[in-house]
Amino acid sequence: MAKLLIRPILGIESSCDETATALLDTDGSVLAEAVHSQQAEHTPFGGVVPEIAARAHLAVLPGQIAQVMAQAGLVFADLGGIAASAGPGLIGGLIVGSQMAKGIAIAQRLPYVAVNHLEAHALTARLPGLVPDGAPFPYLLLLLSGGHCQCVAVEAVGRYARLGGTIDDAAGEAFDKVAKLLGLGWPGGPVLERLAQAGDPKRHDFPRPMLRRPGCDFSFSGLKTAVAREVAKHPPGALPMAEAADIAASFQRAVAEVIADRAGHAMAIMRARDPAARLLVVAGGVAANTAIRMALTRQAEASGFTMVAPPIRLCTDNAVMVAWAGLERLRLGWTDDLDFAPRPRWPLDSPGMNRDAP
């Protein structure tokens, strides 16, 4: 397929509880961006409510898109394409964002790119300036978020191989559940990390599921259960703050050690697949955790890899990564039909991901 003429691209992210829009120039520089967090809407319910999320996306997106276009000083006729998260994620939000993008594409006769949200995370490291001299293929992706925990060989745009993943909870999900046990509210990851700074990480010897086992699969369910048992030793509502801090610190240490160990195995597998691989890219909301970043940095150095992670604002869901993934695909001449249906489940290594790959 012939390569398309590239102009600035608009990206839309609405796969979960962040409504985000971004405009990228042809070289990947950010012209304008905006993110609306729905935390206030979901906090009373202790987690994301899909119907509320979809309605919030619908209410926010039109004005947000207009704001970003005005901030960049562009009109839709200046664009070279529209990209939107089309899966995986909450189907209501995916429909809202995709339909908004398709409407603009139809009205302006622009190319439409249905972006796999996981691919957007995978390609974030290739944004200009994040990795000196760029992030060449192949590299290893460690995706850590509330919904995903997996190791992926990133071989090219549209070509991925899943090396391992969680067999139960994702890392971010485990953080949220433990934070709830400790009475910290939702979302739990950032609050638990702050509490852990005041605790003793060696106070409790929690289990390290899958530690040193072959392969690079993850498991956090048993660790979560061990924390629940420790918390249950105290009457409801009577857990001392100092003890809560020790539990948080000990839990975080266990998670960091498990993730580092699993990443070490993944890097060995990646090196066996391609001896030229030297880069470990960590993405997703949990990649913002300082203790986990430090553990992975040490493990990468021991394995002969360099660990890189996007800036914290690009670790969580955002439209910059969606626009960038769309730009990478447009550069290859890859677009999607307007009847492309959003997918609540869309594995990176599914046949549809590399349907046009050489």
Is residue 296 predicted with pLDDT exceeding 70? yes
Whether residue 119 is found in the same domain as residue 43:
yes
Average pLDDT rounded to a whole number, residues 108-116 = 97
Read off the pLDDT of each residue in 341-354 and give the average, rounded to a whole number. Answer: 85
pLDDT of amino acid 61: 98
Same domain, 269 and 288: yes
User: What is the edge-to-edge ordering of all strands in the sheet holding 139-144?
Assistant: 159-165, 149-156, 139-144, 279-283, 306-308
Give residue 153's pLDDT band: very low, low, confident or very high (50, 70, 90). very high
Specify the pLDDT at position 354. 63
**Domain-located, residue 132:** no
pLDDT, tens digit (0-9, with 9 covering 90-100), for 18-71: 999 999 999 999 999 999 999 889 988 888 999 999 999 999 999 999 999 999
Spatial separation of the C-alpha atoms in residues 252 and 287, rounded to whole Å: 13
Q: How many domains does the chain have?
A: 2
Question: What single-letter amino acid sits at 215?
Answer: G
d(CA 17, CA 237): 29
Regarding whether 300 and 347 lie in a shared domain, the answer is no
Residues 75 and 179 in one domain: no
**pLDDT score for 78:** 96
* Mean model confidence pLDDT for the chain: 93
Reduced to 3 states (helix: H, G, I; strand: E, B; else coil), residue 339 is: coil
Average pLDDT over residues 270-293: 93
3 within a domain of the structure (yes/no): no
Q: Look at residue 11 in the predicted model and tell me its pLDDT.
A: 98
Q: Is residue 310 reached through a cis peptide bond, with omega within 30 degrees of 0 on the bond before it?
A: no
Q: Give a yes or no: residue 38 inside a domain.
A: yes
Q: 0.85 exceeded by the pTM?
A: yes
Do 162 and 305 sit in the same domain of this protein?
Answer: yes
As a whole number, mean pLDDT of residues 186-202 equals: 94
The H-assigned helical ranges of the chain are 39-42, 50-72, 91-108, 117-123, 171-181, 188-196, 221-231, 241-273, 290-302, 312-315, 319-331
Instruction: Work out the average pLDDT over 1-27.
Output: 87
Q: Is 187 inside a domain boundary?
A: yes
User: For residue 355, what pLDDT is reported?
Assistant: 56
d(CA 172, CA 224): 12
Instruction: Give the domain CATH number at 189.
Output: 3.30.420.40
Q: How many residues does the chain have?
A: 358
**113 backbone φψ class: left, alpha, beta (φ>0; ψ -120 to 50):** beta
Please determine, for residue 201, whether its predicted confidence score (pLDDT) is greater than 70. Answer: yes
Q: Which residue range forms the structural domain that includes residue 200?
A: 137-309
List Cβ neighbours of 275 (8 Å cut-off, separation of 6 or more).
none
With respect to residue 266, please indicate whether it lies within any of the assigned structural domains: yes
For residue 358, the model assigns a pLDDT of: 46
Chain segment 300-311, per-residue pLDDT in tens: 999 999 999 888
Position 277 in a domain: yes
Q: Using one digit for the tens of pLDDT, what is the confidence trace for 159-169?
A: 999 999 999 98
pLDDT digits (tens, 9 = 90+) for 85-105: 999 999 999 999 999 999 999
Rg over CA atoms, the chain: 21
The full DSSP string for 231-288 is HTTS-TT---HHHHHHHHHHHHHHHHHHHHHHHHHHHHHHHHH-TT--EEEEESGGGG
In a domain, 1, yes or no: no
In the block, tokens 């997106």 appear at: 61
Q: Are residues 63 and 99 both part of a single domain? A: yes
Per cent of the chain over pLDDT 70 is: 97
168 and 289 both lie in a single domain: yes
- Higher confidence at residue 188 or residue 229? 229
Examine the fold and report which residue of 272, 292, 309 is the final residue of a domain before the chain moves on.
309
Query: Taking 80 as the threshold, does the pLDDT of residue 3 lie above it?
Result: no
pLDDT the model gives residue 4: 55
- Alpha carbons within 13 angstroms on the beta-carbon side of residue 238 total 5
Specify whether 102 is located in the same domain as 196.
Answer: no
Burial class (CB in 10 A: 0-12, 13-18, 19+), 323: buried
For residue 47, with 0-12 CB atoms within 10 Å meaning exposed, 13-18 middle and 19 or more buried, which class applies?
A: middle
Same domain, 143 and 28: no
Residue 210 pLDDT exceeds 80: yes
Per-residue confidence (pLDDT) for residue 146, from 0 to 100:
76
Q: Identify whether residues 295 and 333 lie together within a single domain.
A: no
DSSP character string of 297-337 = HHHHHHTT-EEE---HHHHSS-HHHHHHHHHHHHHTT----
pLDDT band at 5 (very low <50, low <70, confident <90, very high): low
Judging by beta carbons within 10 Å of its beta carbon (0-12, 13-18, 19+), is residue 332 exposed, middle or buried? middle
Same domain, yes or no: 94 and 186: no
* Cβ-based burial of 263 (10 A; exposed 0-12, middle 13-18, buried ≥19): buried
φ, ψ (nearest 5 deg) of residue 231: -65, -35
- Both 155 and 177 in one domain: the answer is yes
Q: Answer yes or no: is 4 within a domain.
A: no
